[in-house]
Every structure is written in C-alpha cells, then in structure tokens.
C-alpha cells in the first residue's frame, strides 16, 4: 500500500512536535519516497462547487507521472488524466460537465503533480471516500484518500404558538430547521423552565433532515409577552443562528383596584377608584357592582374608573370590579370605609412622608456603614456569610405579615381583595407571583451581606418595608 501523507487537521496541535519530526524524516527520504498529499476530509454544500486537493510531492526530475486517476473507495473510477490521451470521465452523462481537473493537463509539466479535482453542482450521491492515485515511472503508484462530505444548509424559522392558560404543559413556541444535512441542533435560550421536544422528518431534498423543536411548558399568565430565543447550530454556519420569539398566552383578566386612600369622608369630592387589569386579549368589558346589588347613585362608572363626585353614606360599602375578556372573567373587591370627618389629612400626611424619607435615609446610611464594615471585615478574614441568609429569612417573615390570605397591602393604603373567578388555573399563577415578589424583596437584603449586630438588622427590616410603616401610620 502506498503511503499517503494526509494533511493533519490543525486542531491536533499537541502532537505537533511529533508531526514535524515525522515530516522531517519524510523530507530527508523524499528523494527516494514520493508521497501524495490530500485533505482527510472536505466539506461541500449541496449545489455548490467543491475542490478535492491532491498533490504529488516532491517535484523531481527522477520521476515521470504517467497517469492520474480518481476513484471511489468501492473501486468505481471517477476521473483519469493521461499526458498524451488527456482527460477521461468514465461516467459520461452524469459526470463530464460536473467534473474537472483544476490544473493537470494545463501546459506546464509541473501541473502533472497536481491532481486536484473540482466537482460542480454538488449532489448527495457525490458523498463518499475518494482515492487520488498517481502512476509514476519508475516508482510505481502513490495514493491518498479524501472523505467528501456533502452538507446542506438548513432554512430556519421560529414562531410563538398562541396558547390559552392551562395547567398542562403545551408547546408555546416552535422552531423549525428545514432541510439540513446533517440534522441541525436546536436549543432554547430561556429563563422559563420549559423543555424542548424535538422531532425529525426527512427534508424535501433526499438525504436532508427537517428538525422541529417545540418549547413546551405550563402556560401561565405571566409568561405572556416573555421573550425566548431559539438557537440553531449547524456545521454549515459560521456561528449559531439566533431566532427570538415572543410568547403569547391568552389568560383571563387579573384584576386589582387602586385609588383608595383610606380617607373617604362625608362630603369629600372627586374620590375615585381605578380597576387595574392585566389580560390577553384586551378586556371586552368592565362592570362595577356592590355585594348588596344596589349601586350608590353618587358613584359614576367610566369604564375602568369609578368616580364619586361627593362622598355620602351610600358609598360606605364594598365595590367589586368585574372584568371580562375572550378567555374568562376576573374580579377584585375594595372595601370603602366612609368616615364622618376627614382622617387628619394634613396632620398625618406630613409625618407619613417624612417618616418614609427618614426611613430611606436610614437605609442608605446603614448600607454605607455596612459596606464599610463589610470591607473592613473582609480585609481581615474571609468568612462564610450566615448573616446574609439570616437577613433574608427575616425579611420573608415580615412580608408574610402583610401578605396573609388573599389580602394584598399596597404602599398607599387600603386592602384590595383579589379574588379571581376565572377557571381554576389562575390560582397557582397568583401564588407563584407572590412567591416571586418575596424573592425579589429578599434581594436587596442579601445584597447587604453584612455581618452586623442583630439589633442593627432588626432596625433595617422594619424600615425597609415601606408598607409596614404606612400601615402603622394609617391604622394605629
Ligand atoms: C521523463 O520523460 C522525459 C521525456 O518526456 C524523458 O526525457 C525522461 O528521461 C523521463 N524520465 C524518467 C526518469 O523516466
Ligand atoms: C469515509 O472514511 C471515513 C474514515 O475512514 C469514514 O469514517 C466514513 O464513514 C467514510 N465515509 C463513507 C461515506 O464511506
Ligand atoms: C360605615 O360602615 C361602618 C361599618 O361597616 C360603620 O362603622 C361606619 O360608621 C359607617 N360610616 C358611616 C359614615 O356611616
């Protein structure tokens, strides 16, 4: 068997010293031993032109090339060149116009040492192992093998699948890579905990594969509008292709009521409640009502807004805002307490505002002091930080106090009862949102990572939570 000096793939750098030693040896014996240089693997794209390089080395007067041939590993002859008889492509019809020797036979005698073969309009059936063989006088034959791989670049697209809120996982986005060879790799970049479900089918062109990946998850209201990205990897790409998708989840209205400041008194003018809604699709209607069924004449409804021009005893009730969209219905309640006299408006608002400002300042001071202490401590020694974890759980307890049941406390005052009447699934959604809020509120405290005294920590917590302050100020 003749020796083939296949060009090494450049990635094998660790073996480089060994290889150069080998090449040195080959060069020394080169006068005697001729060899064929080919690439071990060549990739071409379907429909494109590809070249299979093949060189006989070294160029020397002692040897005459008498014939160059290319054949498949199974023995089928592909192309031949003879200095006197010219080129020959055995499989005439199919091959002749697609095959060509790039330099052999073009004048200069040294071109005989270059058997590089060009294949145009690459087809699937061209894939295989090709042997390039030089017949020489008087040294005999030398050959090398190249693996020609035929790739097809896939066409990719991705889109959201519009889904409706449910408790079961469903495909929420689809990413399709059409007609790749080999099959493309699809992954999803997403902060959501969905999973990809892939399927493959033959592409239109023989030998190609169409890959479909469906991003599957439980569709919750809060995932509506979230952006995720489909990433398609393929050998024919310089870099992976990124396809953004915006999820679309239809869900019934999530309703809350704002605008109640816990200071509605007889004769007050221009008191308003606002019905705040998140939903997909948009709400089709708002309905304000009271549990008793009688609606106070002094209250005027303007879509999501409830206007009371002059507060009277009839307004001393609970208002319910019911919102409907194509998927379902959601509602929220607001208890309105009508007082006989204003609740110390100017006297109380002042301390409230100044208390909040003072609280913020105190937190800032503590943050600054804490960072200094932290830096000083860190300089001295590295320690595990149980202080951070402790602060986090303390904050959580504080939040529970204000989040118990379904009552949500808002910084500006009164309780809002959030009671969705949508089909089941809303409830887990709501719960998870509460948990998320808790986690978010923990973060600033974890960020402190202080090792301060426990009394310091207690102080911070009671002031960090703005709702706690305002609640005391309002109710006590
Ligand atoms: C190679 O061919 C040329 C003529 O084409 C001839 O003069 C020369 O002697 C040949 N060399 C060998 C080594 O056969
Ligand atoms: C060509 O040869 C390589 C290496 O020996 C092998 O891995 C590959 O499967 C072969 N390809 C074909 C199409 O036979
Ligand atoms: C409103 O109703 C509450 C009880 O629900 C009552 O204590 C209060 O006095 C009422 N306010 C007025 C102005 O009647």
| pLDDT tens digits along 353-372 | 455 555 555 555 556 655 65
Nearest to 410 by CA among 227, 223, 256: 256
Domain-embedded: residue 379: no
Give the pLDDT confidence score for residue 404 in this predicted structure. 34
Ligand 1 proximity of 28 Cβ (cutoff 6 Å): no
Distance 64 CA to ligand 1 centre (A): 6
User: What is the total count of domains within the chain?
Assistant: 4
Domain-embedded: residue 377: no
Ligand 3 proximity of 313 Cβ (cutoff 6 Å): yes
Same domain, 65 and 186: no
Last residue of a domain, one of 215, 231, 247: 247
Which has the higher per-residue pLDDT, 98 or 60? 98
Q: CA 131 to CA 115: how far, in whole Å?
A: 11
Same domain, 101 and 138: yes
Same domain, 401 and 444: yes
* Block residue for tokens 């001295």: 380
Give the pLDDT confidence score for residue 83 in this predicted structure. 87
Q: CA 123 to CA 46: how far, in whole Å?
A: 6
Same domain, 268 and 235: no
Domain-embedded: residue 97: yes
Peptide bond into 58 cis (omega under 30): yes
Same domain, 64 and 144: yes
Distance 293 CA to ligand 3 centre (A): 18
Same domain, 147 and 159: no
Question: 213 with 230: CB under 8 angstroms?
Answer: yes
Ligand 3 proximity of 341 Cβ (cutoff 6 Å): no
Question: 463 with 359: CB under 8 angstroms?
Answer: yes
Question: 469 with 401: CB under 8 angstroms?
Answer: no
Domain-embedded: residue 34: yes
Peptide bond into 138 cis (omega under 30): yes
Same domain, 457 and 430: yes
Domain-embedded: residue 360: no
User: Is the predicted pLDDT of residue 438 greater than 50, yes or no?
Assistant: no
Model confidence at 343, pLDDT cuts 50, 70, 90, reads confident
Same domain, 29 and 113: yes
Last residue of a domain, one of 126, 151, 176: 151
Same domain, 13 and 147: yes
Question: What residues contact residue 356 under an 8 Å CB cut-off, 6+ apart?
Answer: 466, 469, 470
Same domain, 201 and 112: no
Structure tokens at 239: 């870099």
Distance 276 CA to ligand 3 centre (A): 26
**Residue 109: nearest ligand to its CA?**
1
pLDDT digits 0-9 by tens, 250-273? 999 999 999 999 999 999 999 999
201: number of Cβ within 10 Å: 9
Model confidence at 3, pLDDT cuts 50, 70, 90, reads very low
CATH number of the domain that 135 lies in?
A: 2.60.40.10
For residue 162, count CB atoms less than 10 angstroms from its CB and return exposed for 0-12, middle for 13-18, buried for 19 or more.
middle
Question: 68 with 104: CB under 8 angstroms?
Answer: yes
Ligand 2 proximity of 207 Cβ (cutoff 6 Å): no
Q: Once rounded to an integer, what is the mean pLDDT over residues 56-77?
A: 88
Over the chain, what is the mean pLDDT?
75
Provide the residue range defining the domain that includes 165: 155-247
Model confidence at 466, pLDDT cuts 50, 70, 90, reads very low
Give the pLDDT confidence score for residue 22 in this predicted structure. 38
Which has the higher per-residue pLDDT, 126 or 107? 126
Pocket test for ligand 1, best of 59, 61, 63, 64 (most atoms within 8 A of CB): 64
Sign of CA pseudo-dihedral 294, 300, 306, 309: negative
Question: 112 with 63: CB under 8 angstroms?
Answer: no
Same domain, 120 and 38: yes
Q: Once rounded to an integer, what is the mean pLDDT over residues 435-462?
A: 39
pLDDT more than 90, % of the chain: 54
Ligand 2 proximity of 40 Cβ (cutoff 6 Å): no
Domain-embedded: residue 111: yes
Same domain, 258 and 318: yes
For residue 62, count CB atoms less than 10 angstroms from its CB and return exposed for 0-12, middle for 13-18, buried for 19 or more.
exposed
Domain-embedded: residue 25: yes
* Closest atom of ligand 3 to CA, residue 316: 1
Question: 476 with 343: CB under 8 angstroms?
Answer: no
Domain-embedded: residue 308: yes
Distance 470 CA to ligand 3 centre (A): 22
Give the pLDDT confidence score for residue 207 in this predicted structure. 92
Last residue of a domain, one of 324, 339, 354: 339
Q: Looking at residue 317, what DSSP letter applies?
A: S
Distance 177 CA to ligand 2 centre (A): 26
**Residue 146: nearest ligand to its CA?**
2
pLDDT digits 0-9 by tens, 205-247? 999 999 999 999 999 999 999 999 999 999 999 999 999 999 9
Q: CA 36 to CA 70: how far, in whole Å?
A: 13
The C-alpha R_g of the chain, in whole angstroms, comes to 39
């Amino acid at each position: 068997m003749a020796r083939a000096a296949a060009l090494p793939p450049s990635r094998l750098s660790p073996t480089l010293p060994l290889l150069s030693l080998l090449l040195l040896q080959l060069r020394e014996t080169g006068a005697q031993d001729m060899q064929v240089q080919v690439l071990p693997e060549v990739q071409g794209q379907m429909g494109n032109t590809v070249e299979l390089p093949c060189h006989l080395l070294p160029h020397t007067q002692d040897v005459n090339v008498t014939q160059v041939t290319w054949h498949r590993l199974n023995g089928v002859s592909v192309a031949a060149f003879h200095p006197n008889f010219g080129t020959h492509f055995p499989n005439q019809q199919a091959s002749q116009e697609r095959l060509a020797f790039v330099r052999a036979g073009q004048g200069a005698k040294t071109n005989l040492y270059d058997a590089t073969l060009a294949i145009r309009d690459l087809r699937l059936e061209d894939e295989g192992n090709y042997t390039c063989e030089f017949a020489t006088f008087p040294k005999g034959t030398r050959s090398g093998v190249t693996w020609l791989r035929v790739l097809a670049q896939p066409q990719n697209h991705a889109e959201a699948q519009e889904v409706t809120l449910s408790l079961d996982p469903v495909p929420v986005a689809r990413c399709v890579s059409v007609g790749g060879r080999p099959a493309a790799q699809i992954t999803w970049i997403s902060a959501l905990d969905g999973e990809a479900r892939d399927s493959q089918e033959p592409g239109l062109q023989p030998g190609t594969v169409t890959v479909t990946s469906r991003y599957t998850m439980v569709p919750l209201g809060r995932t509506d509008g979230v952006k995720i990205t489909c990433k398609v990897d393929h050998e024919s790409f310089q870099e992976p292709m990124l396809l953004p998708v915006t999820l679309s989840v239809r869900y019934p209205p999530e309703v809350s009521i704002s605008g109640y400041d816990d200071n509605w008194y007889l004769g007050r003018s221009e008191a308003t409640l606002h019905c705040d809604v998140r939903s997909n699709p948009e709400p089709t209607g708002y309905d304000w009502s009271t549990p008793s069924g009688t609606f106070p004449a002094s209250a005027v409804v303007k879509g999501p807004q409830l206007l009371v021009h002059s507060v009277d005893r009839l307004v001393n009730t609970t208002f319910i805002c019911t919102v409907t969209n194509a998927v379902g219905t959601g509602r929220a309640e607001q208890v309105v307490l009508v007082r006989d006299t204003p609740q110390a408006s100017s006297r109380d608002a002042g301390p409230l505002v100044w208390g909040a400002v003072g609280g913020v300042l105190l937190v800032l001071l503590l943050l600054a002091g804490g960072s200094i202490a932290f830096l000083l401590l860190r300089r001295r020694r590295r320690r595990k930080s149980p202080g951070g974890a402790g602060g986090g759980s303390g904050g959580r307890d504080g939040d529970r106090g204000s989040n118990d049941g379904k009552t949500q406390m808002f910084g500006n005052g009164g309780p809002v009862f959030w009671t969705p009447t949508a089909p089941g699934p809303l409830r887990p959604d709501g719960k998870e949102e509460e948990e998320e809020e808790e986690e978010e509120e923990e973060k600033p405290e974890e960020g402190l990572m202080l090792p301060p005294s426990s009394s310091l920590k207690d102080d911070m917590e009671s002031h960090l939570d703005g709702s706690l302050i305002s609640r005391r100020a309002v109710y006590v």
